[in-house]
Chain A
């Protein structure tokens, strides 16, 4: 893809300073870009700061160095051009599915009727028809994550940020959700930045996989994924796919082993 640069991350570093404890350097010198309409994943051992980077891009936390640019404009707080899909349940338990999907819009001051109409469109895209009036606790984990994705898409962001969105799901549901995410992406053509610790998930979904080193997180390698689209789950059994996963795993393995020793 030779599209314009949508997201640019320049020299991002993050040191967490804590009272009475040694400070922790989570990220160091992260430089990366994501093109318009591109699907990029970041993988790395736990503690590699990948989730921190996502929060910096969303504007939830401030970096200690460097800057984040969306379409050339520096961002320092959450904005309507970015939307995040969280790992755990972050749906409001007292709101129905349609109210949850409309949440970002109502916060932005969109009138209720309009917000619900827009929400309905993304409820349809996410395959949640018939569950509009359900409450989150009445849905399965997979369904709740669909609501989460629909809620992020409903505000029509330029960039969709996904923080291990399927980590809490069982293996089978996770695979189904991956294909559904791909079809949603195909339909909406959003720029996507995904964080995951599942290497096969990253390869299956992405145009490019960025491998992080362990603490402090730095970019170890960027690996393009030249596999054809549209992709189906059969792809996961192809030799090209397996070879890519294997290569990334080798890169991360050392870091994971080192992490195990540290406890």
Chain B
């Protein structure tokens, strides 16, 4: 038991996988036990039934249709959010005037639950890709803007002075000091943006679409098909986790000196 504990504490890839496996098994176990106590199948279904429902969706091809709709929409709008976020963050960091005038507007927008505007976006842009695209960008762009600006402003003055001392041009200072220094900050913003983008896409699909995971969840819950609801939620959870792991690894890769 003690040896197992020591193994799990290690900082190796194998131990990492073992930890994930262990927590997955634990969650499934608790779920199983609770679903044996709660016998109303409208409220909760056991893991095995969810797996069957998921397999059914794959077989019928519904999974594929929904995945294509959701993934294309979320990935395109996520990438555009990152591009816009970095660009706006750059602009804010390079101009004090812009930061002072635009900053309050942005933080006001950021603190409004934009998701609540989803019905409006759909009224403006109709059902389908365009409304999903805009809603996801509206929720995902802010973390990138904020971390880009903060990262660029956080730059070590000492490093900038050293670059200046070596006769670096302003562009060289940006490309060799300021931007590399900000990059891990930006990636941490991107990680948050990915999680937000998933929320945005589901809500957008709730309100206005004929395909996608959000649409599938809504229609399954309207027919009281709890197994299908949970199945799609798990797929979304896996997408969120995959993004989080990927961007966390990228952050570590870009800034190894921060860990030690």
Contact = CB atoms under 8 A, between A and B. Distances in A.
B159 A79 contact: no
Nearest to A79: B167
Contacts of B165: 58, 60, 78, 83-84, 86
A211 B77 CA distance: 64
B172 interface: yes
B158 interface: yes
Contact of A78 (B158, B166, B260): B166
Interface residues of B, number: 19
B91 to A, nearest CB: 24
Contacts of A107: 163, 166-168, 172, 176
Interface in B147-181: 158-159, 161-168, 172, 176-177, 180
Given A94-B255, A135-B256, A137-B256, A108 B162 contact: no
B124 interface: no
A80 B166 CA distance: 7
A15 interface: no
Contact of A137 (B158, B172, B177, B257): B257
Contacts of B161: 60, 86, 90
A104 B158 contact: no
A92 B166 contact: no
Nearest to B156: A90
B166 A155 contact: yes
Contacts, number: 55
A93 B158 contact: no
A46 interface: no
Nearest to B259: A137
A88 B161 CA distance: 11
A107 B159 CA distance: 14
Interface string A150-192: 0000010000000000000000000000000000000000000
B254 interface: yes
Interface in A116-165: 135-138, 155
A43 B189 CA distance: 46
Contacts of B162: 84, 86, 90
Contact of A80 (B167, B177, B254, B256): B167
Contacts of A137: 256-257, 260
A137 B259 CA distance: 10
Contacts of A80: 167
A83 B167 CA distance: 10
Interface string B229-260: 00000000000000000000000001111001
The interface centre, meaning the residue of B167, B172, B176 with most chain A CB atoms within 10 A of its CB, is B167
Contacts of B163: 107
A222 interface: no
B157 to A, nearest CB: 10
Interface string A65-106: 000000000000111100110101110111000000001100
Nearest to B166: A104
Interface string B7-37: 0000000000000000000000000000000
A84 B165 CA distance: 7
B8 to A, nearest CB: 27
Contacts of A78: 164-167
Interface of A: 58, 60, 77-80, 83-84, 86, 88-90, 92-94, 103-104, 107-108, 135-138, 155
9 contacts: A78-B167, A86-B161, A90-B162, A92-B180, A94-B254, A103-B176, A107-B163, A107-B176, A137-B256
